[in-house]
């Protein structure tokens, strides 16, 4: 942990900023790039983020609390309803909202219409953030994308960025900072995320499953951390002991996640362990189980048990 100091000046800016957009536009990647640390789960598959997560950027001039939200899509089950509700709820708690879109978007689909509808009811300043500008050279595509959205949402600012390349991130921060209220920081200067270690652990494991499996598996999984014993809480332990269960909703998915002779599960476990050791700063022993619970995404009770409660 760093020992960052925040100057006690009356000009200090602090506020909450939600990132909203359809799945896979790069909302979580933007946060990771800004914080220069991989805090939020990212994958090439849509609907990676399920909960509104607070990630904190602290500089000498400002503290910006980003609320990463699940990509907006038309819900197909109770988990989908939960995710949409998370995004909606986030808007009631922020000073600004960034509508994140992709350079190259050329028409408005169902998801965009849901988002525009949410935004028009929210009554907070909107910044149009056009991500993935690295995919095109010149600024013609950027301006075309802006044209597509501008009239629908009347943004107070428009910012082109690339989370992947880190392009224009300073301008993005300056833009946000200029619109945030003057007030002292809410969180300690060295805090990056407002989540528990258990939540973080489950997210890291889920991210690795998304990274190591094909299209059909990811949406059917959830991760519960059954046991989390850290050396901080249990000084007699030299290593952090974590036991977690991966819930899948079909038998076939269990086989895919375990892989031949357990090879896939081993890959997932190893990658998750390395990430967790980096995050927590101590050695980790990680034990993973896979369990089938048919239809868990459709059951409100099951979702509540898995930590997705409305
Ligand atoms: N080329 C390019 N790819 C990017 C950029 N930002 C993110 N990506 C990729 O886009 C994919 C989705 O990124 P995420 O950050 O998980 O997207 P998200 O909007 O949080 O997605 P959900 O959580 O599913 O709503 C990943 O494969 C990223 O590597 C960018 O600036 N340029
Ligand atoms: Mg995300």
- Domain CATH for 211: 3.30.300.20
Tell me which of 144, 179, 214 is where a domain ends: 179
**pLDDT (average), residues 16-45:** 92
Same domain flag for 63 and 127: yes
Question: What CATH number corresponds to the domain at position 26?
Answer: 3.40.50.300
| Percent of the residues in the chain that have a pLDDT greater than 90, as a whole number | 61
Residue 156 lies in a domain: yes
Task: Work out the mean pLDDT of the chain and round it to a whole number.
Answer: 91
Work out how many domains the chain is built from and give that number.
2
Same domain flag for 138 and 56: yes
Residue 224 lies in a domain: yes
| Ligand 1 center from residue 119 Cα (angstroms) | 21
Same domain flag for 175 and 208: no
Same domain flag for 110 and 236: no
Tell me which of 123, 153, 179 is where a domain ends: 179
pLDDT at position 8 = 61
Residue 8 lies in a domain: no
- Structural domain of residue 67, as residue ranges? 13-179
pLDDT band at 20; cut points 50, 70, 90: very high
Same domain flag for 68 and 145: yes
pLDDT at position 122 = 87
**pLDDT (average), residues 248-254:** 90
| Ligand 2 center from residue 235 Cα (angstroms) | 35
**pLDDT (average), residues 44-69:** 92
Ligand showing the shortest atom-to-Cα distance for residue 25: 1
Ligand 1 contact via 206 beta carbon (within 6 Å): no
Ligand 1 contact via 48 beta carbon (within 6 Å): yes
- pLDDT tens track for 98-154: 999 999 999 999 999 999 999 988 889 999 999 999 999 989 999 999 999 999 999
pLDDT at position 1 = 44
- Cα 227 from Cα 24, distance rounded (Å): 31
pLDDT at residue 310 is higher than 70: no
**pLDDT (average), residues 224-250:** 91
| Ligand 1 center from residue 167 Cα (angstroms) | 14
- pLDDT tens track for 58-98: 999 999 999 999 998 888 888 889 888 888 888 888 999 99
Residue 114 lies in a domain: yes
Tell me which of 152, 179, 206 is where a domain ends: 179
Same domain flag for 37 and 134: yes
Residue 173 lies in a domain: yes
Contact 230, 90 (CB under 8 A): no
Strand 13-20 to strand 126-131: parallel, antiparallel, or no bridges (unpaired)? unpaired
Residue 253 lies in a domain: yes
Same domain flag for 284 and 143: no
Residue 36 lies in a domain: yes
Ligand 1 contact via 80 beta carbon (within 6 Å): no
Residue 192 lies in a domain: no
Same domain flag for 163 and 258: no
| Ligand 2 center from residue 45 Cα (angstroms) | 9
Same domain flag for 155 and 61: yes
Same domain flag for 251 and 124: no
Same domain flag for 150 and 292: no
286: nearest Cα among 208, 188, 170, 179? 208
Same domain flag for 212 and 290: yes
pLDDT at position 38 = 84
Mutate to test the pocket of ligand 1, among 19, 27, 29 (most ligand atoms within 8 A of CB): 29
Residue nearest atom 2 of ligand 1, based on CA coordinates = 132
pLDDT band at 218; cut points 50, 70, 90: confident
| Ligand 2 center from residue 105 Cα (angstroms) | 18
Q: Whole-prediction pTM value? A: 0.87
Ligand 1, closest atom to CA 165?
31
pLDDT at residue 3 is higher than 80: no
């Amino acid at each position: 942990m760093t020992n960052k100091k925040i100057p006690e000046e009356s000009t200090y800016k602090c506020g909450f900023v939600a990132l909203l957009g359809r799945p896979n536009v790069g909302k979580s990647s933007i946060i990771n790039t800004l914080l220069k640390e991989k805090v939020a789960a990212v994958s090439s598959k849509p609907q990676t983020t399920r909960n509104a997560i607070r990630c904190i950027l602290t500089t000498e001039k400002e503290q910006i609390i980003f609320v990463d939200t699940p990509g907006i899509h038309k819900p197909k089950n109770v988990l989908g309803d939960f995710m949409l509700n998370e995004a909606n709820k986030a808007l009631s708690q922020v000073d600004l909202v960034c509508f994140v879109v992709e350079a190259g978007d050329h028409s408005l689909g169902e998801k965009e219409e849901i988002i525009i509808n949410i935004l028009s009811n929210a009554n907070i300043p909107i910044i149009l953030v056009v991500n993935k500008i690295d995919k095109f050279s010149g600024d013609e595509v950027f301006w075309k994308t802006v044209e597509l959205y501008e009239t629908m949402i009347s943004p107070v600012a428009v910012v082109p960025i690339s989370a992947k390349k880190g392009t224009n991130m300073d301008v993005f921060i300056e833009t946000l900072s200029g619109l945030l209220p003057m007030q002292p920081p809410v969180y300690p200067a060295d805090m990056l995320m407002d989540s528990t270690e258990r939540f973080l652990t489950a997210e890291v494991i889920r991210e690795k499953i998304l990274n190591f499996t094909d299209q059909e598996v990811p949406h059917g999984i959830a991760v519960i951390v059954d046991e989390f014993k850290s050396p901080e809480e249990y000084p007699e332990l030299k290593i952090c002991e974590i036991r977690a269960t991966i819930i899948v909703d079909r038998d076939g998915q269990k086989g895919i996640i375990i892989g031949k002779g357990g090879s896939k599960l081993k890959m997932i476990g190893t990658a998750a362990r390395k990430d967790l050791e980096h995050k927590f700063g101590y050695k980790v022993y990680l034990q993973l189980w896979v369990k089938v619970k048919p239809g868990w995404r459709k059951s409100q009770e099951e979702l509540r048990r898995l930590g997705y409660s409305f």
